[in-house]
Amino acid sequence: MMTKIRYKKPLLRILLSAFALTYSNVQANDNFEILKDSKKLVFFGDSITYGGEYVVLFERWLTVNHPEISLEILNQGIPSETVSGLSEAGHLRHGFPRPDMHERLDRALMALDPDLIIACYGINCGIYKPFDEDRFNSYKDGLQRLKAKAEAQGAKIIFMTPPVYDKPNSKFNYDDVMKAYSDWLLSKREDDWRVINLHAIMKNKLAEKRTKDPNFKYSRDGIHPGREGHELMAQQIINFFALKAPLNDPQPNSYGRLLMFLRERMRVQRDAWLTKIGHKRPMKKGMPLADADKIAAEKTVQIQQNLETIRKAAKQ
């Protein structure tokens, strides 16, 4: 039995304000047209994308603020994956080398047929070693191949620079490697690549927060962002598509149930498609796609019902 949700008046005003915001009064940039013209968006990446919180936070923004856009969003991140095809010897302690996204890319593009791709790679691609020109070239080559194959299939692709690496190391600073990778990716804007500058924004925000709290971290292990890190990642994607929009929830839990249903749908579809397409990383198998589709359809109904509940409450 679903618990009846009770909303306090201040929260009602917040929700009503959010739902009253329509495309007509959002100053959308040219990138917004990409969303309007797309039917399927696929996220590729490593464990950060596989975790997927930034994916569902973005989807929540789109669902709430742009119901006129019908866009299927699929998460196809794989933990420990690289776009460079490299793997350090130490990773073999897990029993397998890092998976290479190019091993599965052709199958994924054929099976999913996306109109739009958002890819976030880099944190694993330097394999946690000092900067090396050969490793750097492997990263660049991997992204160029990804872009070429995506566009040959008919998809537009948007890249995110890697997040900040925030793990102390007395021998060298691996985040300097991530900065070099990010700077190169940003330079490709001159060749009309679509690039979201996550690394620099996260680094600046991290420094800003540490002026108030020297112990602040976006990530406990220095690699995988927590809640605030995923919120920051989602916001950069939102910023890319819309210049003026409700980027932050004044009440973080105001759409909590909606986020839960989106998260559940994302996970069941993610795992089913990863298993269907196939890959070389040992991990749990998803359910058959037909079964996952049934659950996803149920979650879609719950998502729409939750939106209606919030809308009705906001009008009272």
Question: Residue 316: what pLDDT?
Answer: 59
Q: Average pLDDT, stretch 90-116? A: 95
Sheet of 40-45, strands arranged across = 72-75, 40-45, 116-120, 156-160, 194-196
pLDDT at residue 7 is higher than 50 = no
Stretch among 90-99, 128-137, 273-282 having the lowest mean pLDDT: 90-99
pLDDT at residue 81 is higher than 60 = yes
Q: What is the full DSSP assignment across the chain?
A: -PPPP---HHHHHHHHHHHH--GGGS-B-TTHHHHHT-SEEEEEESHHHHH-HHHHHHHHHHHHH-TT---EEEE---TT-BSS----GGGGGGTSPPPBTHHHHHHHHHHH--SEEEEE--TTTTTTSS--HHHHHHHHHHHHHHHHHHHHHT-EEEEE---------SS--HHHHHHHHHHHHHHGGGGT-EEE-HHHHHHHHHHHHHHH-TT--S-SSSSS--HHHHHHHHHHHHHHHBSSS--S-SSTTTTHHHHHHHHHHHHHHHHHHHHHH--SS--PPPPPHHHHHHHHHHHHHHHHHHHHHHHHHHH-
Q: Average pLDDT, stretch 91-109? A: 95
Question: Residue 67: what pLDDT?
Answer: 86
Q: Can you read off the two tokens belonging to residue 91?
A: 């990773």
Dump pLDDT digits (tens) for 30-43.
899 999 999 999 99
pLDDT at residue 261 is higher than 90 = yes
How many C-beta atoms lie closer than 10 Å to residue 276's C-beta? 16
Question: Residue 168: what pLDDT?
Answer: 85
pLDDT at residue 121 is higher than 60 = yes
Of 277 and 21, the one with more pLDDT: 277
Rounded to two decimals, the pTM is 0.88
What mean pLDDT is reported for the chain? 88
Of 316 and 276, the one with more pLDDT: 276
Question: Residue 16: what pLDDT?
Answer: 40
**31: closest CA among 60, 63, 69, 64?**
69
Dump pLDDT digits (tens) for 142-156.
999 999 999 999 999
Q: Are 80 and 98 in contact (CB under 8 A)?
A: yes
Q: Can you read off the two tokens belonging to residue 248?
A: 């932050």
pLDDT at residue 12 is higher than 90 = no
Question: Residue 30: what pLDDT?
Answer: 81
Domains and CATH numbers, the chain: 29-315 (3.40.50.1110)
